[in-house]
């Protein structure tokens, strides 16, 4: 299953400016969050990228993309009907083909030579099915992410058969329906923010948009997908940092800096700040 196109969603009305914020990447270069995400996709071998934005935001996003602007297509989410509706808005761009999907408010830090998106794409190509990146997450953060329930694929350490999906479940709901054998107590497999979807996902979203009024979320569609075709989740070797969280931009910046060539300088500065606080 060769995947050459990507969809980045950045149309949430209360988070629309986050991808425009600037951070210093692991090489010490100032870039927008959007640039960093686009480069993650390009590094994975993606040829064409669609960014779903709010009406009127195309120009700001084109500027934020910098030298990558000519590689991007922009689609407007005409009305604020939710995350699933935002993905569905790119249906004409993706056509009847698989696509990489990335959210516009996460920064990804690889834990191996391959980037996180490339890791997830490789699993999708190997198994010829939809694959979502996941990360073991403490139950006190369940209110921030969608989560999956399932079982480990025999003989693999980090690959799971998805059986169900829930959007921002409560700890009680997660304990009842989302326990995955082998995880530490109090941890659940929450979405990483990177997926590879088959054309069936757009078909299911089309059904949802045409039959539902109001908000259309993505998690119910993925729960339906798990019942209709093989759907896997993989623990990416790396970490995700949602910049929409409290201190999210700060945490993402710190993670980028500590993963780069100036790690020692940053650690020294942190130690000096902590020492000053103790003396103060």
Tell me the CATH number at 252: 3.90.550.10
DSSP 3-state of 231: strand
pLDDT of residue 280: 62
pLDDT of residue 195: 98
In the predicted model, is pLDDT for residue 145 greater than 70? Answer: yes
- Mean pLDDT value across residues 94-117: 96
pTM of the predicted protein model = 0.94
pLDDT of residue 219: 96
What is the 3 state secondary structure string of the chain? CCCCEEEEECCCCCCCCHHHCEEECCCCCEEEHHHHHHHHHHHCCCCEEEEEECCCCHHHHHHHCHHHHHHEEEEECCCCCCHHHHHHCCHHHHCCCCEEEEECCEEEEECCCCCHHHHHHHHHHHHCCEEEEEEEEEHHHHHHCEEEEEEECCCCCCEEEEEEEEECCCHHHHHHHCCCCCCCCCEEEEEEEEEEECHHHHHHHHHHHHHCCCCCCCHHHHHHHHHHCCEEEEECCEEEEECCCCCHHHHHHHHHHHCCCCHHHHHHHHHHHHHHHHHC
248-274 pLDDT, tens digit per residue, is 999 999 999 999 989 999 999 989 988
User: How many domains is the chain partitioned into structurally?
Assistant: 1
In the predicted model, is pLDDT for residue 276 greater than 80? Answer: yes
Q: Mean pLDDT across the chain, nearest whole number?
A: 95
- Mean pLDDT value across residues 162-187: 94
In the predicted model, is pLDDT for residue 278 greater than 80? Answer: no
Q: Residue 58 sits in which domain range?
A: 5-279
24-51 pLDDT, tens digit per residue, is 999 999 999 999 999 999 999 999 999 9
- Mean pLDDT value across residues 201-223: 96
């Amino acid at each position: 299953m060769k995947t050459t196109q990507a969809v980045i969603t950045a149309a949430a009305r209360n988070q629309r400016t986050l991808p425009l914020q600037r951070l210093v990447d692991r090489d010490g270069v100032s870039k927008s969050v959007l640039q960093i995400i686009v480069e993650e996709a390009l590094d994975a071998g993606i040829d064409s990228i669609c960014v779903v934005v709010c009406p009127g935001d195309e120009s700001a996003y084109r500027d934020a993309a910098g030298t990558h602007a000519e590689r991007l297509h922009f689609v407007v989410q005409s009305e604020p009907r939710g995350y699933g509706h935002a993905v569905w808005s790119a249906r004409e761009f993706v056509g009847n083909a698989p696509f990489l999907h990335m959210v516009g408010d996460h920064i990804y830090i690889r834990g191996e030579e391959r980037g996180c998106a490339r890791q997830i794409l490789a699993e999708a190509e190997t198994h010829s099915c939809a694959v979502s990146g996941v990360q073991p997450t403490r139950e006190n953060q369940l209110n921030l992410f969608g989560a999956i329930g399932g079982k480990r694929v025999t003989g693999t350490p980090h690959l799971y058969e998805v059986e169900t999906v829930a959007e921002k479940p409560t700890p009680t709901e997660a304990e009842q329906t989302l326990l995955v054998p082998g995880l530490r107590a109090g941890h659940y497999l929450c979405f990483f923010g990177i997926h590879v979807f088959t054309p069936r996902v757009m078909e299911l979203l089309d059904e949802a948009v045409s039959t539902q009024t109001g908000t259309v979320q993505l998690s119910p569609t993925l729960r339906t997908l798990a019942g209709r075709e093989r759907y896997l989740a993989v623990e990416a070797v790396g970490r995700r940092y949602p910049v929409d969280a409290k201190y999210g931009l700060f945490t993402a910046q710190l993670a980028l800096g500590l993963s780069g060539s100036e790690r020692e300088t940053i650690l020294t500065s942190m130690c000096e700040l902590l020492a000053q606080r103790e003396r103060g």
